C-alpha cells in the first residue's frame, strides 16, 4: 500500500478511468481516500460493451463515497476499426476512451492495469503508452491478488469478490463484427447464468462463427446447461454447449 501511495503522490491531480471492475474500482477508492476528493476525478464510460451492472456499481459507489464522477460515452462504436473486431481491437477501444477522457480534463489519466496484465496480449497498453496514461498498480508492483487484498483492506468486500470481467466485446471471436445486439445477448446470458455458477467462477458467453458457447471455470450443473440452452433457443441462436473456461479464447490470430 505504501508503494501505491507513493505512485499516486507523484501527481497533483488524477483522472481515473473506472470501468466498474475490481481493479479500477479499488484504485478509485484508494486514490479518493489517499489524495482527497479534490485531486481525483473518476471517469466512467458507457457503451454497449459495458455491462449495465458495472455502471450501476460505479454510480452507487460514487454516491456512497462522494466521488467526483463524470459519466461519458466511450465513443468506440463510431470507429469502424473497432467494430470490425481485429485482433488488436482493444487498441482502438482504449484509444477512443483515453482521447475522450483527455477532452474532458487536463489531469494525468490513470488506469487500473496490474502486473498480471503484462503477461497477456494487451493492445490497449500501447494506446495508453501513446497517451502517457499511468498505471499505479504496475508502478507499485501489484498483481490481481494484491488488488483484491487491498479492496478487502478498504472494506470493499463486494468489489474484492468480483470475478475478472473484461468488456463484453472480448467474448466475440476475432473478425466477427462487434454488434450491440450480440453484446446485449452476452450480458443477458452471463447475468442469467451467474447465480447457477459455482462461487465466483469465471463465466463467459462466447460468440463464435459456429454459434454460442458458454465457458465455465468449474463443473457446470445440469441446471446451468439447461438455462443456457433455453436462452439460446429463445434468441434463435445455435448452442454449442458448456466447455471449460479458457482465458482470451476469442482472440484468434489470422
Last residue of a domain, one of 160, 177, 201: 160
113 & 210 share domain: no
Q: Average pLDDT in the 70-84 region? A: 95
Q: How many domains does the chain have?
A: 2
Answer for the pair 89, 123: CB distance below 8 angstroms, yes or no.
yes
User: Is the pLDDT confidence value at 175 over 70?
Assistant: yes
pLDDT band at 254 (very low <50, low <70, confident <90, very high): very low
144 & 184 share domain: no
User: Is the pLDDT confidence value at 221 over 50?
Assistant: yes
Non-local (6+) Cβ contacts of 70 within 8 A are 41, 42, 43, 44, 104
> pTM of the predicted model, to two decimals?
0.93
37 & 147 share domain: yes
pLDDT tens-digit profile of 106-118? Answer: 999 999 999 999 9
Q: Average pLDDT in the 26-37 region? A: 95
43 & 82 share domain: yes
Which of 159, 158, 135, 161 has the alpha carbon at shortest distance from 4? 135
Last residue of a domain, one of 142, 160, 178: 160
Measured CA to CA, the distance from residue 170 to residue 172 in angstroms comes to 6
* Domain region containing 137: 2-160
33 & 156 share domain: yes
Amino acid at each position: 500500500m505504501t508503494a501505491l501511495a507513493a505512485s499516486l503522490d507523484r501527481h497533483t491531480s488524477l483522472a481515473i478511468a473506472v470501468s466498474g471492475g475490481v481493479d479500477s474500482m479499488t484504485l478509485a477508492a484508494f486514490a479518493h481516500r489517499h489524495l482527497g476528493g479534490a485531486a481525483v476525478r473518476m471517469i466512467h464510460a458507457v457503451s454497449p460493451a459495458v455491462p449495465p451492472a458495472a455502471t450501476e456499481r460505479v454510480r452507487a459507489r460514487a454516491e456512497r463515497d462522494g466521488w467526483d464522477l463524470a459519466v461519458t460515452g466511450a465513443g468506440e462504436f463510431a470507429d469502424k476499426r473497432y467494430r470490425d473486431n481485429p485482433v488488436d481491437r482493444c487498441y482502438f477501444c482504449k484509444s477512443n476512451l483515453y482521447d475522450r477522457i483527455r477532452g474532458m480534463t487536463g489531469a494525468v489519466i490513470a488506469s487500473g492495469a496490474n502486473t498480471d496484465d503484462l503477461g497477456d496480449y494487451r493492445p490497449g497498453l500501447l494506446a495508453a503508452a501513446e497517451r502517457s496514461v499511468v498505471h499505479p498498480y504496475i508502478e507499485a508492483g501489484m498483481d490481481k491478488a494484491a488488488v483484491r487484498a487491498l479492496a478487502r483492506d478498504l472494506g470493499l468486500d463486494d468489489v474484492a469478490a468480483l470475478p475478472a470481467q473484461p468488456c463484453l466485446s472480448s467474448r466475440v471471436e476475432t473478425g466477427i463484427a462487434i454488434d450491440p445486439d450480440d453484446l446485449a445477448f452476452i450480458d443477458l446470458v452471463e447475468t442469467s447464468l451467474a447465480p447457477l455458477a459455482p462461487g465466483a467462477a469465471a463465466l463467459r458467453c462466447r460468440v463464435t462463427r459456429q454459434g454460442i458457447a458458454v465457458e465455465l471455470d468449474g463443473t457446470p450443473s445440469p441446471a446451468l446447461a439447461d438455462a443456457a440452452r433455453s436462452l439460446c433457443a429463445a434468441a434463435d441462436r445455435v448452442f454449442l454447449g458448456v466447455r471449460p473456461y479458457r482465458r482470451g479464447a476469442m482472440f484468434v490470430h489470422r
